[in-house]
Amino acid sequence: MSTQDTLIIRSDTRPPVLFDGKYYQWLHRITQYIDYKETGLPIPVYELTGERRERAKGDMEAKNIIMQAISYELFENVDSNTSAKDIWDEIRRQQEGYDMTNVTKLNNALGLYEDFKQEPDELLNDNYRRFNGVMNELKKCKIIKVNAEINMKFLKKLNSDWIPYV
């Protein structure tokens, strides 16, 4: 972990550090730090009352935690969002990719599974490791296969050298 990564972690006792070229991010974080130090609340929240105040306070705390925990590069992509939920959803969308990306990953994983076979001169251990990698890709896409199907797929796709043993 670099010094820059270490210093962007939230601290209640130390203000955020300004790095060259990161003024905008630092300004946002130092403003939040000062607001919390002076009032314990962001400035607009203490004008609210009751349940709305508590909700706004919780949202600001969550937003501050999220913003302090992400990299500067990701910060630049999400800092325009106004609520912690919006920031969270945007981070999730960016990190998981768009629906088309997920569909592509799914199609690729299914294609790897359907087309799987032992390569010529491939050792059984290597083949098994590669097959486990394919199965892991399917699990990432939330596709679960029954053990009997998995075993049959693996055995049927072995080279002809293994047929007497299958």
Tens-digit pLDDT string for the chain (166 aa): 444 444 445 565 677 776 777 777 777 777 777 666 655 555 455 566 778 777 877 887 888 788 777 887 888 888 888 888 898 888 888 877 666 677 888 999 999 999 999 999 999 999 999 999 999 999 988 899 999 999 999 999 999 888 888 7
Instruction: Specify whether 31 is located in the same domain as 91.
Output: yes
The total number of structural domains in the chain stands at 2
For residue 72, give its domain range: 3-96
Instruction: Specify whether 80 is located in the same domain as 110.
Output: no
Instruction: Specify whether 119 is located in the same domain as 76.
Output: no
pTM: 0.45
Instruction: Specify whether 128 is located in the same domain as 67.
Output: no
Instruction: Specify whether 79 is located in the same domain as 109.
Output: no
- Residue 16 to residue 156: CA distance in whole angstroms: 59
CB 60 within 8 A of CB 68: no
Tokens in use for 127? 């083949």
Tokens in use for 40? 């314990």
Instruction: Specify whether 60 is located in the same domain as 85.
Output: yes
Kindly report the number of other CB atoms within 10 A of residue 24's CB atom.
12
From residue 125, give the alpha-carbon distance in Å to each of 19, 74, 99, 146, 163: 49, 40, 35, 22, 16
